[in-house]
Homo-oligomer: A and B are copies of this chain.
């Protein structure tokens, strides 16, 4: 009687979730215990279902994959996450790994890469698909100190608020949504602008799109 790896899938595209589920459930040692379409639902399901592994798409609405990753890492230190993404760009890879992901697989890779990642991560190791392994090695060889620029200078809450601003929400709506005051939203926006040296909503929006926090 083998113990199955209990996997939760998080991707906003329903068809892809279902298709990935079908692919993964062909494996006798893996079972999909749930699916989440956005970052918030993901957090709820993790609490409810206690999966072994989360397969987490980076580009998700509301609470982006990166934000969700940070939340998961702080609240569930034992949980192991495999990041799944269209992007093999260094920015995304490093960001997710820093946020606590144990694996990173691009959608251009074969389905077997995802299965390999799930099994490696479930057994306590980390996993990078070949497409991004070079990226990470290059980043390590470039690392030259704790200076943080751009997106890396923003805290978790700041990134969350930046996404909502860039998605067109007003401060009052953001405040209501996050159960904080409008003054706090304003303060965060100001801090974000100071750190990024930006001075308008348009510039914030452009930055957020460029950094993949918000989509076009």
Q: Taking beta carbons and an 8 Å cutoff, which residues of A are in contact with B?
A: 12-16, 18-20, 22-23, 26, 86, 105-111, 113-114, 165-170, 198-206, 209-210, 214, 216
A200 and B170 form a contact (CB under 8 A): yes
> For A214, what are the chain B residues with a Cβ–Cβ distance below 8 Å?
206
7 A-B pairs closest in CB distance: A19-B19, A13-B107, A18-B111, A205-B205, A210-B216, A168-B203, A168-B202
B26 and A22 form a contact (CB under 8 A): yes
Nearest CB of B to A169, in Å: 8
Can you pick out 21 interface pairs between chain A and chain B where the beta carbons lie within 8 Å of each other?
Answer: A12-B108, A13-B108, A14-B111, A15-B20, A15-B107, A15-B111, A15-B114, A16-B16, A16-B19, A18-B23, A18-B110, A19-B22, A22-B111, A167-B202, A168-B200, A168-B202, A168-B203, A200-B201, A202-B202, A209-B209, A209-B216
A110/B14 contact (C-beta < 8 A), A19-B23, A22-B26, A26-B22 known: yes
Q: How many copies does the complex hold?
A: 2
Closest residue to A111 on the B side, CB-wise?
B18
Closest residue to A209 on the B side, CB-wise?
B216
> For A26, what are the chain B residues with a Cβ–Cβ distance below 8 Å?
22
Nearest CB of B to A32, in Å: 12
Give the docked Cα–Cα distance between A113 and B157 (Å).
38
Partner of A201, one of B105, B108, B205, B209: B205
Nearest CB of B to A22, in Å: 5
Give the docked Cα–Cα distance between A203 and B165 (Å).
10
> For A169, what are the chain B residues with a Cβ–Cβ distance below 8 Å?
202
Closest residue to A170 on the B side, CB-wise?
B200
B168 and A109 form a contact (CB under 8 A): no
B14 and A202 form a contact (CB under 8 A): no
B205 and A15 form a contact (CB under 8 A): no
> For A110, what are the chain B residues with a Cβ–Cβ distance below 8 Å?
14-15, 18
> For A111, what are the chain B residues with a Cβ–Cβ distance below 8 Å?
14-15, 18-19, 22
